[in-house]
Every structure is written in structure tokens, then in C-alpha cells.
Structure 1
């Protein structure tokens, strides 16, 4: 199955790219620059494409991102510390981000004769991001069948949508993902901060998976406190 992977350069999507490269026919990576403050992820997406020897499209959505105001990922708003499942993390929502990116990726797939578009949404995203939930994935796939009816037959591939971040680490390890060459932190500093929701979730996932975490964190032990506080909430 000829498959495009939407790749941000983060742990999830890079692991997915390595999995697809071995289980399907990976045709290209597609990334999006929507003006995100942690856009250094895109450099890691480029590294992934080079490593897997596939083309890499970076699609400029900065004008669209500028209109989707109010998120800590695009505006000058502090990214909160703490567990990803905390209510405070809703400030990291970019409205309709996945829906917009998937629509474009499906168009690319249809134009290039690909069979599927793969995205690494997972169970840990469901609380915060509505366009990462199984119901959205199913509805979007059905909508695209109508949008491309008679022109192309492209399906949505979401192998992690019912699985955890720890499951992704396990699968990434199995398929040889170089985790050190992935970027998750929402603060975009020299190293992963270790305190934002995605850093906490990343560090916790390695621990739950029993896989050594090669990531350098500015605050490598904060995750323990954040996870404990979440458990008491």
C-alpha cells in the first residue's frame, strides 16, 4: 500500500514513518509549517526523510496559522508545565489543525496516486484534541471518500488511535526509530525542557515502555512530580 506519512518530526510521527517504511510502501513525508513556535521539529522531519530516502514536502500554512489565534503553540502565550492530560493544556489546541493538515495530505495523495495517508494520533491525545479522536478519524475518512469519489481511493491510516504513547515507544523501538533524532518539546529551546505536557508525556512513555530514553531534558525529573500530581487529581 503506497502511503504518505504526515510527519512533524516528533516521536510519534517519526516512529510511524519507520513502521510504515517496513510494513507498507512509504512514498513521502509531508510536514506543515503553520507558524508553530517549536518549528525546529521540521528539521527532525527532514532528517527522517533523508534517513528513509523518501521525498519530503514542507507545506507553508503560516498565513492560516496566523488566523488560528489563541494557542500557546502559535501565539506569545506561555506553554504551561504539567501532565498532558491536565485541563491547562487546552491552551495548546490549534483549532482544526489536524483536519486542515489531513485535507491537504489527502489532496497530495490523490494527486500522486497514493493509497493512504498515515497520521500518528494516539489515545493520549483524545482528552485535549478533538481532531485526534477515533470518531473524528472515522468521520474524516468517510468525508474524504465522498470528496474524492470517482477520482481517487485514499484511506486514512491511524494505527495508534486506540493505543498509548508507551505503545508508540515500543513500536518505534521495534522498528529501529532513532529517538534521539525526534523533537517533542513545545518550548523549542536548545534541549527538551522536561516540564511541558509533551515532555512529561514523552518521558513517562519511555518509562512505561521500559525503553531507555536518550533525550536530554533541562529538568529530567519533573515528570515524576507531574505524573504523581495527575494521579491525585
Structure 2
């Protein structure tokens, strides 16, 4: 009997790419999953996850919920690149259904240590609580974040040893042809590659520099 696959939430960023590479290197069965929830960079993320899944030869499931963007643009305080503040809750809820449909035994998120400060939906307490709910809904199903104790630089350092194709990944919050080099995610990407002492292959529209408020 084939082992149950893991359902890996693939965003196209360095962490999920590193997690996918490690799982594939260890020959673990995995189904990659990406969700369009109306994020500004959806087209770039989609291109990244397609390229990463193809490079690893894994199955990719896509979930289309981009219509949510319209509902959240009606509010004056809407943030362009984060149309759904509690997106992890939505994506995990969808992942539970996909896991049940595909017979997956575990849902994997590529959260890192620094993500804990990005809101309660990225913290250990949330993951533990949602994991308990998922197991109640689908007996035997678990939720895990294998990179949760590692920083972004640690992940890049280890991913470089695993041969992660960084050039295929996407981090920028904007949906342009190149990484902008100025948004918070671009700054975090630049800083992590520098801290890891790993060459950054990213084509930034603007060179690294002080982050503007």
C-alpha cells in the first residue's frame, strides 16, 4: 500500500520551495496546493508554483477564490497586497477538504520563526488549535509547520544545500515582471540571502537599499 501523501501549501516563496525540495529529496509523497485569494501578486505566485511543481515533478492543485478581492475592496482600510487578513484560516479550511478528497494524512505549511509576528493566524497557538479541529473533522489528519523553528536565513542556508532553484521563487508583494526590491517581502528576502551568505539570484527592479516608511 502506498503511504499517504502530504498536502503542502505552496506559495512560490523561498520557504515553501525549500520545504517542497526537502520533501522531494527524501522521496516523500506530496501534493502541492496553491490558493488564489485575491492577492495582488497572484499571477506571479501562480507562475512560481507552476515552475516549482514542474521542476520537482509533483502534482499541483490550485484553488480559485480570487473573487474575494472584490468584496474586500469596498472597505477604505483595504490593503492592496493583503485583501484577506485571515487568509491562513481560509486556505487551511480549503486544505482540509482537499486533504480528505485526496487521502492526504497531513497538511504542511512553510511558516518560519519570523512569521509568528505577522498576526495570530501564523502563530503556534493557532496552528495547534486548527490542527485539533482538523483532526476532529477528518480523523487522522494533522497540520504541521516543519520550518517553524527556523529563521528565513536558516531556511535559505539549508535550502541551498538541498539545491532549491531560488530563481523560480517569488516573494514580492507586487505583481510586476520583476521583484520591486522595495516592499517588505523584498527587503526580507534580500536580508535573508545576505545573512545566509548565499548568492541572491533575484532580479530586483531597484537595487537593495534602506526601506522607506
TM-score by length of 2: 0.89
Report deviation, 1:93.
6.9
- Residue 129 of structure 1: aligned partner: 119
Partner residue in 2 for 1:142: 132
Counterpart in the other structure of 1:97? 87
Kept after mapping to 2: 8 A contact 1:3/1:20: no
- Report how many aligned residue pairs link the two structures: 205
1:117 aligned to 107, 123, 126, which one?
Answer: 107
8 Å CA contact retained: 1:29, 1:49:
yes
Aligned to 1:58: 62
Aligned to 1:6: 9
SS in structure 1 at match of 2:67? helix
2:178 corresponds in structure 1 to: 191
Q: 1:10 Cα deviation (Å)?
A: 1.5
Mapping of residues 179-218 of structure 1, within 5 Å:
179-218=166-205
| Alpha-carbon distance between aligned partners in 1 of 2:69 and 2:138, rounded to the nearest angstrom | 26
Conservation of the 8 A alpha-carbon contact between 2:190 and 2:208: no
Q: Return the alpha-carbon distance in structure 1 between the equivalents of residues 117 and 84 of structure 2.
A: 14
Deviation at residue 174 of structure 1 after TM alignment: 2.1
Matched, 1:163 2:179: no
> Is contact 1:93-1:128 (8 Å) kept?
no
- Once the two structures are superposed, residues 14-52 of structure 1 have per-residue CA deviations (whole angstroms, 9 ceiling, x without a partner) of 111111212352331111112221111111100111111
Task: String of CA shifts for 1:180-229, please: whole Å, max 9, x gaps.
Answer: 1101101121211111000000000001111111111122221xx23xx9
From 26, 35, 46, the equivalent of 2:50 is: 46
Aligned equivalents of 1:45, 1:116: Cα separation in 2: 20
* Cα shift readout 1:51-80 (whole Å, capped 9, x = no counterpart): 11111111111123433441221xxxxxxx
Q: Classify the secondary structure of the residue corresponding to 1:71.
A: coil
Task: Determine the structure 1 residue equivalent to 2:34.
Answer: 31
Query: What residue is the counterpart of 1:173 in the other structure?
Result: 160
Q: Quick one: distance in 2 between partners of 1:13 and 1:171?
A: 13
Checking the alignment, whether the CA contact within 8 Å between 1:114 and 1:154 is kept in structure 2 is yes
Whether contact under 8 Å (2:37, 2:84) holds in the other structure is: no
Classify the secondary structure of the residue corresponding to 1:141.
Answer: helix
User: Given that residues 35 and 61 in structure 1 are in contact (C-alpha distance below 8 angstroms), is that contact kept between their aligned partners in structure 2?
Assistant: yes
CA–CA distance in structure 2, aligned partners of residues 164 and 93 of structure 1? 26
